[in-house]
Structure 1
């Protein structure tokens, strides 16, 4: 009954927001704000080369007294990307995020990125699954 990453992607959609590594951090922040998301996949010539998050901005720009308009995405992006395949269970995604201390996982199938899942997406799926189990148990206890 455990959901897979593929099921999460099917529910949320495959639209992945990306930015070029030559863009400024300011442009990345604008896009994240407009799309109400916490991270962007960074590309160079259609290849995934990193990920940039609000956390990267906070740690590598704001706290280091750099300016977002003068700093490129390439300067602060995370290049050691955590990722997952769509057939893996939600629990494995959460384990990767916990172990690697990341909040967003690009989903790759046959070397193609098919989506991105966030820690919020996976926690929501876990909560929904637990609520369903509780409802079934309550029904069973009541004799239904």
Structure 2
């Protein structure tokens, strides 16, 4: 199975840059940024370190349902923390296990303390499907004697 770094390199160039939000910025700022770049979550970075992840789900559950104002609430009050991260050498299988076991939809990728990417559960599912399709093709060739 591929590594996290291999998957990050295969992402379209437009999806390789990871935008972040600060913990003291407003939830409204986070929502605007997520809408602008069409993503469901943002890593929360403070002094160069990933300190959490904030998602649309956090907004729905911790803001809307409680009747809180997104303009006056800092991201730190609704972000998921402490954050679970992986390194670039981690396997996608291990990432799937982490995400499943921890009920995560987004997994920041950190190398030497620096955020280098963000994986979504969708990224991992697409990679697993592509890998299985390749394996099926190889097995079909083997069965037909086309080594």
Alignment TM class, shorter chain as reference: over 0.9
Distance in 1, Cα, partners of 2:74 & 2:31? 11
Residue 140 of structure 1 and its aligned partner are, at CA, apart by 1.7
**Partner residue of 1:48 out of 45, 50, 73:** 50
Unaligned stretches of 5+ residues in structure 2: none
Tell me the C-alpha RMSD between the 2 structures: 1.3
**Partner residue of 1:67 out of 58, 66, 69:** 69
Distance in 1, Cα, partners of 2:59 & 2:83? 16
Cα displacement string for residues 57-80 of structure 1 (whole angstroms, at most 9, x for unaligned residues):
111111111121222111111112
TM-score by length of 1: 0.93
Count matched residues. 143
Q: SS in structure 2 opposite 1:64?
A: coil
Runs of 4+ in 1 over 6 A off after TM superposition: none
TM-score by length of 2: 0.91
Does the Cα contact within 8 Å between 1:82 and 1:102 map onto a contact in 2?
Answer: no
Unaligned stretches of 5+ residues in structure 1: none
